Amino acid sequence: MGTTVTLDKTTLAFIAFVACPVLGLVSAVMGLVMILTGDVAMGVVFLVVVAQVFVLGGLWATRKRRSLLQDRTGQ
């Protein structure tokens, strides 16, 4: 018996405009700090992989929210 969880526009706005940008920025800073302290491999992984996951998550949430708003307004 599965239940479907839908995200409303407020939750998507929080994910797109607050959570993902902040987590992406923290990941990028952490990657730069790792590179500057000598842990180059993990720093590059943080910059290339982890930060980009949050960027893509923010873009996904923005597009999902936009389509949800257009569906409700009938545009």
> Are the C-beta atoms of 8 and 45 separated by less than 8 Å?
no
**pLDDT tens digits, residue range 33-65?**
999 999 999 999 999 999 999 999 999 999 999
Residue 31, token pair as written in the block:
């990657």
pLDDT tier at 7 (50, 70, 90 boundaries)?
confident
Q: What CA–CA distance (Å, rounded) separates 7 from 5?
A: 7
**Whether residue 13 has pLDDT greater than 70:** yes
Residue 14, token pair as written in the block:
């929080």
| Span 8-19, average pLDDT | 92
List % helix, strand, coil for the chain (3-state, nearest 5): 85, 0, 15
Give the per-residue pLDDT at 6: 73
